[in-house]
Chains A and B, each alone.
Chain A
Amino acid sequence: MTEIFSAQAWGKIWIFRDTFLLGLYNTVRIAVVALMLSMILGVVFGLMATSGKKALERSSRVYVEIIQNTPLILQLCFLYYGLAFSGNSLGIITTGIIALGIYHGAYMAEVVRTGIGAIPKGQFEAAESQGFSYIGKMYYIILPQSIKIILPPMVNQVVNLIKNTSCLYIIGGADLISVTYSFVTGASTGGAYGPAYIVCGALFFIICYPLSTIASIWENSLKMRDQKTSDLGNAIIEGTVTK
Chain B
Amino acid sequence: MLKNQAVIIYLLKGVAFTLILSVMAVGIGLVSGSVLALVRNYCTTTKTKLFKWLAVAYIEVFRNTPLLLWIFICLVFFPFPEVLSRKMFGLTSVEVKLLFKASTALILFTSSVIAEIVRGGLNSVAQGQFEAGYSQGFSTVQIMIYIVLPQAYRKIIPTLLSQVITTIKDSSYLANIAVIELMSRVKTLLSSSYNYNGTGTVNVSDVFVLFGVAAIIYFIINFSLSSVVRHMQKHPRIPKGEARVS
Contact = CB atoms under 8 A, between A and B. Distances in A.
Real binding pair: yes
Interface of A: 1, 65-66, 68-75, 77-78, 81-82, 85-86, 159, 163-167, 169-170, 177, 180-181, 193-194, 197, 200-201, 204-205, 208-209, 212
Contacts of B183: 71, 73-74, 77
Contacts of B215: 70, 74-75, 78
B211 A201 contact: no
Contacts of A71: 168-170, 172, 183, 218
A142 B73 CA distance: 46
A197 B175 contact: no
Interface of B: 60-61, 63-69, 72-73, 76-77, 165, 168-170, 172-173, 175-176, 183, 186-187, 190, 202-204, 206-208, 211-212, 214-215, 218-219, 222-223, 226
Interface of B is mostly: helix
Contacts of A177: 66, 68-69, 72
A74 B218 contact: yes
B63 A212 contact: yes
Contacts, number: 113
A240 to B, nearest CB: 18
B67 A205 contact: no
Nearest to B68: A166
Given A163-B65, A204-B69, 9 more contacts: A69-B218, A69-B219, A69-B222, A73-B176, A74-B218, A193-B77, A204-B65, A204-B66, A208-B65
A70 B190 contact: no
A189 to B, nearest CB: 15
Given A74-B211, A81-B190, A208-B64, A69 B226 contact: yes
A200 B175 contact: no
B169 A159 contact: no
Contacts of B67: 163, 166
Contact of A205 (B65, B176, B206, B212): B65
B68 A169 contact: yes
14 contacts: A65-B219, A74-B214, A74-B218, A75-B215, A82-B208, A82-B211, A85-B204, A86-B204, A167-B173, A177-B66, A204-B65, A204-B69, A208-B65, A212-B63
A107 to B, nearest CB: 11
Contact of A72 (B72, B169, B187, B202): B169
B64 A197 contact: no
B62 to A, nearest CB: 10
